[in-house]
Amino acid sequence: MSKIDDGKGVARRAVLQGAGAGIGMGLMAGMTGAAAAAPETAIWSSEYWAHKGSVKLNLWRKRLGAPAAGEAARPVVFLVHGSSNSSRTSYDLSVPGHGEYSLMNVLAREGYDVWTMDHDGYGRSGSSGNNSDIASGVEDLKAAMPVVQKESGRAKVHLYGTSSGGIRAAAYAQAQPEHVDRLMLSAFTYKGNGAAEIERRRKRIDQLRANNRRKRDAAMIRSIFTRDGHPQFYDPAVAEAIIADEMKFGDTVPTGTYLDMAANLPIVDPKKVMAPVLMLRGEFDGNSTNDDLLDFYRQLPNGDRQFVILPQTAHSAGWGKNRHLLFYALRNFLAEPAPIAS
């Protein structure tokens, strides 16, 4: 796993050998041995609803044990989904017999209060009829935060997004920095120049503009795991588990984030993102290039920032065979101690 940290603009490259003995082994145990080494406190979950005008937005929460009166508020991690799938297949996927694919479970076991949400027009949420573009996603997050704050007792959240969910998360952090603690962006796209998947979408701009929804059937979901040219990085059972759950909501999803990534980049101004930032990308991610992401990274104003490349990983790191590398990087960024003020 390559890590670049250029606090004053000077890049350095370090290779993390062995992924850390104690922490790495703990995360691997969480993936493959959860049944044998179940935590003493079971993971509790609950559903909530937020309202964006007349649109009901579905929120899903997981943590160790039910909330109890008088307990200290736990740090909150809010997970923002991408363009083609809803929140629970993105972050709470069950693939029986194939290991742990729920990032919500992984973070809950680390002691976090973990939340996610279906955006306007996705999954269990209602639909305004719009194309659910990045701006709409920011409004969704604005509607969700009062619910999260009330139920968790926390005024600020750690925010994680993958793919266009990373753009949504970064755009929200730019718009409402007072509510964001640490920001984690996986498979992010800044300008998209030179990125194979973005170039493919740019050829479809007229089609994307003409319709507020696009086809997202079983074949399209399977293509997510092949489009970067490295299907060997995924277990085929993952795509089938996603299909089984997502097809309950139909075979179309909103076009807005695809159109934004094809026609309207850049959407986020890195100079206006004030939170500490972790940027992660798969070694073979067709949605971006190193140059594109490092351009964004170098402009971030907060010196607390990291850039991590996940080896043997394509676009969808959380669904990949090497997802333990993603879990490791997130865990360490979230647990990073504060610097000593000088």
DSSP 255-308: SHHHHHHHHS---S-GGG--S-EEEEEETT-TT--HHHHHHHHHH-S-S-EEEE
- Report domain extents, the chain: 2-32+39-334
**Alpha carbons within 13 A on the beta-carbon side of 322:** 21
Note the pLDDT tens digit of each residue in 204-258: 999 999 999 999 999 999 999 999 999 999 999 999 999 999 999 999 999 999 9
- Tens of pLDDT along 22-70? 334 344 444 433 334 444 689 999 999 999 999 999 999 999 999 999 9
Give me 300's structure tokens: 């971030």
* Model pTM score: 0.90
Q: Return all residues near 81 (Cβ < 8 A) that are at least 6 apart.
A: 87, 90, 91, 116, 117, 118, 119, 122, 161, 162, 165
**In the CATH scheme, what is the homologous superfamily, with its name and number, of domain 2-32+39-334?**
Alpha/Beta hydrolase fold, catalytic domain (3.40.50.1820)
Tally the C-alpha atoms within 13 A of residue 232's C-alpha that lie toward its C-beta. 3
How confident is the model at residue 333, as a pLDDT? Answer: 98
